[in-house]
Structure 1
Amino acid sequence: MLQKFGFSKYESQVYESLITVDTPLDATTIVKRSGVPRAKVYEVIHRLIDKGMILETTVEKKRLYTALPLESAIKKLTADFNTKVEELRHTPIKQTPKDDRVWTLRDDQSIQSLLENLLEQAQESIIISGWADDLTAYLPTLEEKHEAGIAVTIHVIGAIDTIIPSVSTLIPDFNHDTLERSRMLIVDEQEILFAGVEETTWQAIRTQSRSLVKFFTEFFYHDVALTEITRKYQDTIMEDKEIRDVLLKLRY
């Protein structure tokens, strides 16, 4: 029960043995109900007392224990978590020199969190591409940056509604059914984050390598150019099988 919140297995077992009964228990009964070894039970009880998760009393020289009510425990754990988040937020961050290494990252939520953080740090320019249903989550930040005078350029697959003028939109049709999900962000012409799906799992690279930043910037404008060409000359292109087949082999 409590292991998900950083408590030990024994602490979780003792708390669960107390929260599931209506009456206080002594240590002997806790051992029977929790499965915690007798040699360990007092140590575990005292840790939970120190953490404010159980209450104790003495009745006729016998120590009795009861659990902090579940709703109170939830409020306490939430408050503890928020306090730790604030402490983490105010941790001094060391300024590091330019890092040309290529870093890899997995897990979609982690990638999204890093992308949002990089967006917030942008001071001069933002270049971003992705699918409409994905980019929509970042529009508030992107529009805030745009209104602050930062140059924001977007390439999106699918339509989005935004006040940002520099948007290149590719509306996919049945000819684009092989398009792969991806995200790309270039911040201040200094750093890139590129993410894609590999075997159903999101994976990303992040780097400040000047050559890779330049490569992905050109890669972005390659997509923009293809999108605009396709949009303007779609009927002609789609009627010419040779041209259509070549274009559809490109990433977009």
Structure 2
Amino acid sequence: MLQKFGFSQYESKVYESLAATMQPMDASMIVKQSGVPKAKIYEVISRMVEKGMVLESISEKKKLYTALALPLVIEKLTAEFQSDIQELEQLRLQKEIVDDRVWSLKADASIEAQIRQLLQEAKASIRYSSWKDDFQKCLPILEEKERAGIQVEALAVGEVLCSLKNLVIMEPSEEHVSLERFRLLIVDDAEVVFAGVEQNAWQAIKTRSQPFVRVFTDYFYHDMLLSKITNRYKDILMNDKEIMNQLLQLRY
């Protein structure tokens, strides 16, 4: 009976013999009732006691055994089965996030499609920054996700009108000729896409590697804070040549 649930043939025979009688039995009686070899009986009983399927007691210096009641066995096996299912589910989830390789991606259309897909799949948080024309393309999804309760933080290079609560605008100065186009997306603190233009063509990297995710998250907040400071103290910074010269060296 119990073999269907992963028990050995001997273990199943020991339990069935004990369950078939209302009286506790010692090892010798179990041997007679079950047919398990005498040389194996103590080993098998010990395993069943450890598994919680057999109860043991000492009476007049003799060990006696009885079976766990069948309703309790059903409850026990059901609970263990559910626990095993949960472990398998957790293992599946772990395998899904094991891929920490860095993938390269080329072609503007492919990069846009990848970004849209990740935005749609976001379940908890989105951090996104890009130039305003690229930003406008993703804006409907960003607004939809924020309405759905997902935390959205964004930075746009250039003026953008929208309903996003946490949007920072970066207005590059005319002297900032080295500022290059980029796209940065971080989803659920788990995956990042960073794209930039090299030799007049878009190229991107995509990864779940947590060190990269943390670095690009810091990079995102660096840009957010720098933009806020620049917007708030623009007049002061514009008159500080040393600081302005350093700001103008930034590529992204």
| Partner in structure 1 of residue 66 of structure 2 | none
> What is the CA distance between 1:178 and its match in structure 2?
1.7
| Partner in structure 2 of residue 87 of structure 1 | none
| Partner in structure 2 of residue 167 of structure 1 | 167
| Partner in structure 2 of residue 84 of structure 1 | none
| Partner in structure 2 of residue 66 of structure 1 | none
> What is the CA distance between 1:96 and its match in structure 2?
3.1
Q: Which moved more, 1:224-233 or 1:180-189?
A: 224-233
1:72-118 deviation per Cα after TM superposition (whole angstroms, max 9, x unaligned): xxxxxxxxxxxxxxxxxxxxxxx734311000000000000000000
| Partner in structure 2 of residue 126 of structure 1 | 126
| Partner in structure 2 of residue 202 of structure 1 | 202
Percent of matched pairs sharing the same residue: 46
Moved over 3 A (4+): none
- Structure 1 residue 144 corresponds to structure 2 residue 149: no
TM-score by length of structure 1 reads 0.61
| Partner in structure 2 of residue 218 of structure 1 | 218
1:103-138 deviation per Cα after TM superposition (whole angstroms, max 9, x unaligned): 000000000000000000000000000001111011
Alignment map for 1:105-124 (pairs within 5 Å)? 105-124=105-124
TM-score by length of structure 2 reads 0.61
Structure 2 gap ranges (5+): 1-94
SS for the counterpart of 1:176 is coil
| Partner in structure 2 of residue 44 of structure 1 | none
- Structure 1 residue 98 corresponds to structure 2 residue 90: no
> What is the CA distance between 1:172 and its match in structure 2?
1.9
| Partner in structure 2 of residue 243 of structure 1 | 243
Structure 1 gap ranges (5+): 1-94
* Bigger Rg, which one: 2
Aligned length: 158
2:211 partner letter = S
| Partner in structure 1 of residue 190 of structure 2 | 190
C-alpha contact 2:100 2:209 (8 A) present in aligned 1: yes
Matches of 2:188 and 2:136 in 1, distance apart? Answer: 21
